[in-house]
Structure 1
């Protein structure tokens, strides 16, 4: 019964339940990510006999160098639950199933490099290229407009500098540069507010159209980042706050865990 659970040779030991559950939980959580540099899981269950009733005291996970859905890099992620009810029978077969939904305190840290990498993800790119919005096509002679070469620089006080190129499909590339303030809305959206264009490096003949296109890009980004689009199956992230700290963007909130997903 326990043969597939590494290191669990003495079920009479006082911590055999914790060690068994740590092994199963680590294997399960690691499979949620396309890649992971490290994933550590700590399950507290004392006395171990409580596990037989499917009751554990707390569940804590911390991961580093994670990739979600093959394209979204997360520098660090951690969450911790209070008491949780699990299916002990499933644990014996190497699975981790919740008997009822639970919540966990969560923190997610993104790096500036990881954020920039995400702009190459298909889920993001398709919302930035070949746009036929009337406000944009009016500037391009009716041709669809694409925003390319998007780069983000993290600034203090929850500000971002965003640089990009606007391709008008007429052979002309318009450089864009602006700063925006980011904030949490309704605990699941990231808003991009108060855009301020920076035109110092834009040729004078392109400054007016650059300003207009920068405002359009800010509006598109403001409607793009909804956490529900990035949720793992069975897990919803909800945010209480965010902050920029050097080259990192730190999110704090909680996760609503309905069930343990099988993969990312």
Structure 2
């Protein structure tokens, strides 16, 4: 009976695990504006468990992912624990989980990803919420460089106030650390330039650190917890856990 049902799924030549794998891949791809290669592999042994919605887990690997807010990700890997799903929802193009689960997580960002992300309206608008000496700030040409000594260099052209004659060139170097698994922060910051440039740079770091709450970047229905951050080969790599209360959907 099981082989008859799975063998007559509305996807010729595919088993239940392949159907669910494709549905998961499509559902995750829909969360992003653009993606490169995506692959999800659902594990269920025996496959008949899928009829009751039982999944041993699934692995997801994605490359070259662009979020709708403009943030870029070079690679993302999720390794999801056992979970119960609504198998009937799969045929509606939906992925619905019946109880919370969690996944180990690995995310890779390049220099280009970071630079592009810091120049998106999504980030620029958040940066411009701060004021310096009672005046609004206007950011442009922000660039991020990952150095061989494990530090990050940030440079930006910043006008203080709308009537500023010329922008301040801000250059600062810092390390990235994670605190309480929930926040990222620039630490051991050094700034160059005039006294005003240094004061402005330090004020910007304080503002950016206040924004780097992981929950503000998580997809709906998920929580991110980062255990470790590594920098190597001009890439920033995050290792952690995603707590999934419901399968996220596009806002």
1:166 pairs with one of 148, 158, 169: 158
Q: Are residues 94 and 214 of structure 1, via their aligned partners in 2, closer, same or farther at CA, if it must alter by over 3 Å?
A: closer
Displacement over 6 Å in runs of 4+: none
Unaligned 5+ segments in structure 2 are: 1-7
Q: Deviations over 1:43-66 (max 9, x none)?
A: 111111111121111211000000
- Kindly indicate whether the alpha-carbon contact (under 8 Å) linking 1:57 and 1:83 is maintained by their aligned counterparts in 2: yes
Q: Give the whole-Å Cα distance in 2 for the aligned partners of 1:152 and 1:92.
A: 44
Shift of 1:252: 0.3
Whether 2:134 is the aligned partner of 1:147: answer: no
- Kindly indicate whether the alpha-carbon contact (under 8 Å) linking 2:69 and 2:122 is maintained by their aligned counterparts in 1: no
2:220 pairs with one of 233, 238, 248: 233
Q: Give the whole-Å Cα distance in 1 for the aligned partners of 2:249 and 2:197.
A: 45
- Kindly indicate whether the alpha-carbon contact (under 8 Å) linking 2:9 and 2:16 is maintained by their aligned counterparts in 1: no
Correspondence for 1:128: 127
1:190 pairs with one of 176, 181, 184: 184
Secondary structure in 2 matching 1:263: coil
Matches within 5 A, 1:90-109: 90-109=89-108
Number of matched pairs = 242
2:208 pairs with one of 221, 225, 230: 221
Q: Deviations over 1:143-196 (max 9, x none)?
A: 433333221111245411111122123203221111111101121211111211
Secondary structure in 2 matching 1:147: strand
Shift of 1:219: 1.2
Q: Are residues 108 and 50 of structure 1, via their aligned partners in 2, closer, same or farther at CA, if it must alter by over 3 Å?
A: same
- Kindly indicate whether the alpha-carbon contact (under 8 Å) linking 2:144 and 2:154 is maintained by their aligned counterparts in 1: yes
- Kindly indicate whether the alpha-carbon contact (under 8 Å) linking 1:130 and 1:144 is maintained by their aligned counterparts in 2: yes
Q: Give the whole-Å Cα distance in 2 for the aligned partners of 1:130 and 1:50.
A: 51
Correspondence for 1:41: 40
Q: Give the whole-Å Cα distance in 2 for the aligned partners of 1:120 and 1:252.
A: 25
Q: Give the whole-Å Cα distance in 2 for the aligned partners of 1:211 and 1:194.
A: 14
Q: Give the whole-Å Cα distance in 1 for the aligned partners of 2:247 and 2:147.
A: 36
Whether 2:175 is the aligned partner of 1:176: answer: no
Q: Give the whole-Å Cα distance in 2 for the aligned partners of 1:251 and 1:263.
A: 23
Shift of 1:6: 5.7
Correspondence for 1:259: 246
Q: Give the whole-Å Cα distance in 1 for the aligned partners of 2:198 and 2:92.
A: 59
Q: Give the whole-Å Cα distance in 1 for the aligned partners of 2:34 and 2:210.
A: 28
Q: Are residues 177 and 94 of structure 1, via their aligned partners in 2, closer, same or farther at CA, if it must alter by over 3 Å?
A: closer
Shift of 1:130: 6.5
Secondary structure in 2 matching 1:37: coil
Unaligned 5+ segments in structure 1 are: 9-15, 200-206
